[in-house]
Amino acid sequence: MFLTTFFLTTFVGVSAINDTIPNTTRLIEVEVKDKRENQESILSLNPSALNSIGNAGESVESVVRTLAGVAGSDELSSQYSVRGGNFDENLLIINGFEIYRPQLARSGQQEGLSAINPDMVRKLEFSAGGFSSVEGDKLSSVLKLEYGIPNTGESNFRTRAGIFSGRFFASYRGPKSNNKENRIQSNGGIGIRYRSNSPFINTGDSKGDLFSASYDIQFIENFYTKKWHHEFLGIAQLSNFTLNPISRVTEFGTVTDVLRLNVSMRGKESYSYNNAFSGWRSTFRPNKKLNIFAEGSLIQALESENADVISAYLLGEVNNNMGSDDFGEISYQRGSGGHQRFARNYLFARESHLAIGGTLDLNDINIDFGVGSRRQFGLDRLYEWVNLDSAGYSLAHNPTRVTLTSEDTLFEFKEYLKLFQVTASEGELNNLKNYAFFRINGVDKIKNSSIYWDAGFRLLHDSRSNEIRISPRLSFKHWGSNGIVWDLKFGSYAQTASVRELRDWRNSNLITNSKMQHAWHSILGAEKKFLSRDRPFFWRAEIYYKFLDNAFPFEQDGMRVRYLGNGPGIARVFGLDNRVHSQWLPGTESWVSLSLFRSQEKFEDTWSRRGSDYRYAFSLRVEDALKGFTNDKVYLQVSITGGFPFGSPLSFSKPFKAPPYRRMDLGFQHIFNSKSSVSIEVFNLLEIRNTASYFWIMDISTAREYAVPNYLTSRLINFIYQYQF
């Protein structure tokens, strides 16, 4: 209760300082609210918040990472962790279709564009756990979006151009048919995006010839009649990243022990991620109470990584004596060596999906039902190795054995090239996932209060593991007379494995017969709407416990998730989420979020930290305007996330913790008129050097390993021009 009270008091107090709106102004009800259709406790965001300024990734996921229960530590990536889970445990749904995300990407620099086009989003809903049986099969969260066409009177043409990115969106609404018995109405839209991460990457330590480009085209088409609705969605994405590294200088260590790594490099890194999606759905409405749908979709992805980089490095101590003439220079060389990384990794994935189902509205009771089948096919080939060399010796090193006898000196030559780390894996995934779901919900009124209830289950069969699972899900929501709304959720969540989850990095093989991961969710939540200084606020808190009775061990290397193959085991996550939303200007949204949690796993005899055990995540997002100048808007986004656990690559122990992720982005926008505006963005305003992952080197003279941080982006300024009509 102390944390909750402090949390509310801080946010309400900050909101009252130098307001841009007089205290007598009464705003409309806050836009961030519960889902009205069925009273579910699913967070719904205003689409205008997704196109705001000061968003480094220019992605919807960058906004999602500021919500309670969500953590992220790479501003250029669209991946995020929810309540102690990893990136593979989050479900992304666009217009009812499950969307594919890249699986080979090592960092946000390479990942490219997000799968979501912000210009096309008309509705966004997010659940950090306890979602209903309709949504799907993932362990942690679901992000649901609806693409749509602007209503009559809204802009149907938008363009946005910046220094390193550009977006274009156009839509149309066709005229109605003159046939009164079967009127046909159509609408559609197309969005095109381009982005280069080169300006961000060039602020880092590595120097070289760099090419980074991502392209994206998405379209939606709708046809309506009196009883039919036909919908088509298409997505095609291409991301290329090529680097010819030349040098790198990185300083790390403590205040009293500063080290500098100087690296000279030759070679080339080339990464390519291409994927395409097409989906179709037809919905038939014979009457006002019944909807029946049939849908199909196809996903295809081709990802490749090619790297061959050889480097020589010098590691030295930096003179930190400010009174010395050699301040800032190398005072002592700790070691030198060589490093070579080679990779030829390829992944081909194809998924086809067919489903039928419907919804039935029986006044106070709603029923959802459906059956479907998803065919998963994947070809995976990983071949990469690392060779370490120090003072002319390859590590690990086997020296020549010398034996002194009474007659002679014997030399036993045991020297040979043994690579420091080798991963060679090749396998095929061929799986048929059949599922069915049923859900029923309604509202009962008892005296002066109401109770919303939601019950359902999912039936899942996985041909790869030959498992059948029934996943029940249940939730209640109670409106009391004191204005506080309570809700309770409980459910079972199974996850069919993708190619990445089946890779065993320690043993270099593809485990195609492993069981599905499974988790139990239990969540208790409370929420309340209130006014403070005539401003609307919405507060929500959740306490939760998530138990995984079948979990895979993993480690995180930047945006890359490595599964370690010594499971299955068990895991647990428990924590507290708090969030407060408000409006400081009509049509804007501001919120603050705080999450405290522990994520642990047990594969032997003791509990240890999971790879996503950040411990805490704090986010602040503000939309406001300069006092007296409502056309001059200000956007602020602050994120603080705890450090992730790490250790030597593929090791069982992760005894170290990375520094916390801290970032502040700021944006200013001047609106000329209803059609055009100009903006300036300042990313990483405080120029904090955040750590994405670690580069490991070794000094053979002391047999000591050093974890050299790979830093994320530094401060960068961007200009944007937007036009619409």
Cα angle: 58, vertex 125, 683; to 5 degrees: 20
Distance between CA atoms of residues 703 and 33, nearest Å: 57
Average pLDDT over residues 15-37: 37
Query: Tokens 């029940």 label which residue?
Result: 472
DSSP at 308: E
The closest of 483, 140, 97 to 298, measured between CA atoms, is 97
The closest of 632, 620, 640, 642 to 688, measured between CA atoms, is 640
pLDDT at 557: 84
> Tell me: the pLDDT tens digits for 185-209?
889 999 999 999 888 888 888 888 9
Distance between CA atoms of residues 90 and 141, nearest Å: 5
pLDDT at 73: 86
Instruction: Answer for the pair 252, 234: CB distance below 8 angstroms, yes or no.
Output: no
pLDDT at 424: 86
Distance between CA atoms of residues 327 and 319, nearest Å: 5
| Exposed / middle / buried, residue 262 (Cβ in 10 Å: 0-12, 13-18, 19+) | middle
Average pLDDT over residues 457-465: 94
> Which is more confident, 384 or 702?
384
Tokens of 156: 């149907």
Instruction: Answer for the pair 210, 200: CB distance below 8 angstroms, yes or no.
Output: no
Distance between CA atoms of residues 378 and 424, nearest Å: 17
What SS3 class is residue 493? Answer: strand
Burial string for 611-625 (b: 16+ CB within 10 Å, else e) reads: bbbbbebbbbbbbbb
Confidence of residue 5 (pLDDT cuts 50, 70, 90): very low
Beta bridge partners of 277: 235, 299
What does the longest C-alpha to C-alpha distance in the chain come to? Answer: 111
Q: What is the dihedral of CA 533, 536, 537, 538, to 10 degrees?
A: 160
> Which is more confident, 606 or 417?
606
Give the strand pairing for 704-711 and 716-724: unpaired
Radius of gyration from C-alpha coordinates of the chain:
27
Distance between CA atoms of residues 543 and 535, nearest Å: 27
Distance between CA atoms of residues 83 and 522, nearest Å: 12
Confidence of residue 37 (pLDDT cuts 50, 70, 90): very low
| Listed ranges 390-399, 483-492, 553-562; the one with the highest mean pLDDT | 483-492
Q: 5's torsion region: left (phi>0), alpha (psi -120 to 50) or beta?
A: alpha
pLDDT at 36: 38
> Tell me: the pLDDT tens digits for 84-119?
999 999 999 999 999 988 888 888 788 888 899 999
The closest of 451, 418, 440, 562 to 501, measured between CA atoms, is 562
- Whether the predicted model's global pTM rises above the 0.85 cut: yes
Distance between CA atoms of residues 613 and 74, nearest Å: 16
Q: What is the dihedral of CA 556, 558, 559, 563, to 10 degrees?
A: -20
Residue 181 has pLDDT above 60, yes or no: no
First to last CA, the chain: 49
Confidence of residue 372 (pLDDT cuts 50, 70, 90): very high
> Tell me: the pLDDT tens digits for 218-241?
999 999 888 999 999 999 999 999
Average pLDDT over residues 31-60: 66
Average pLDDT, the chain: 85
pLDDT at 21: 35
pLDDT at 26: 35
Distance between CA atoms of residues 345 and 337, nearest Å: 26
pLDDT at 15: 39
| Exposed / middle / buried, residue 386 (Cβ in 10 Å: 0-12, 13-18, 19+) | middle
CATH topology of domain 2-724: Maltoporin; Chain A (2.40.170)
> Tell me: the pLDDT tens digits for 470-480?
999 999 999 87
Confidence of residue 9 (pLDDT cuts 50, 70, 90): very low
pLDDT at 409: 66
Domain locations along the chain: 2-724
> Tell me: the pLDDT tens digits for 114-134?
899 999 998 899 999 999 999
